[in-house]
Structure 1
């Protein structure tokens, strides 16, 4: 099971990847949305902002935060680490229910190109 530190490192890596995105992916990273990533097996949620091609202002909240983000993800810590590491395909994980996403369809399509 991935630790809290490993999950935070995966989110930091995702943010770095987005900042270095190629021109064809840059449009997908140009969102300005509130973001939460619930790590189900650790019962914590990372809450932050997806803006200017990076994830900023990330804080860890125990359980589920009272305010709902515009883009909400839920998965195990291992799945987060595997997706960011390129070992787990986002679309397959989402289709199989390993990753849950609550967002507008447009945001989901953009996320797919990032993960």
Structure 2
């Protein structure tokens, strides 16, 4: 099981990949969304906003704490989150094998896939 700090580092790595994309590409593919990453094995939730400036306002809290509904909810175990961030796991394979669950609209899924 990875730690909360390792998960935060993984989220930061994903943010780096987003920011590596030219601003024009980010403008084309990113629509501002509230994002929640649930990590059941740590009983933790990471809340953030996906914007053209990357992932912003990243916070974490216990999973049992109430919060407004997010537009995109990703559920993933801590080790898998870190592996995805480090590109040791294929995102599509993780979805198909149900190691990652994403609750979002189809258009959000397609847009996010470009940057994960």
When the two structures are superposed, what TM-score results if normalisation uses the length of structure 2? 0.90
Give the match for residue 36 of structure 2: 36
Number of positions where the alignment pairs a residue of Structure 1 with one of Structure 2? 114
Give the match for residue 110 of structure 2: 109
RMSD: 1.6
Give the match for residue 93 of structure 1: 94
What stretches of structure 1 of length at least 5 have no aligned partner?
A: none
Give the match for residue 13 of structure 1: 13
What stretches of structure 2 of length at least 5 have no aligned partner?
A: none
> CA offsets, 1:31-73, max 9 Å, x none?
2000000111101000010012400011111015432100100
Residues 20, 96 of structure 1: CA spacing in aligned structure 2 closer, same or farther, 3 A cutoff?
A: same
SS for the counterpart of 1:107 is helix
SS for the counterpart of 2:42 is coil
Structure 1 stretches of at least 4 aligned residues deviating more than 2 Å after TM superposition: 22-28
Aligned partners of 2:33, 2:89: CA distance in 1, in Å? 24
The equivalences for 1:5-84 within 5 A come to 5-22=5-22, 26=26, 27-28=28-29, 30-64=30-64, 65-84=66-85
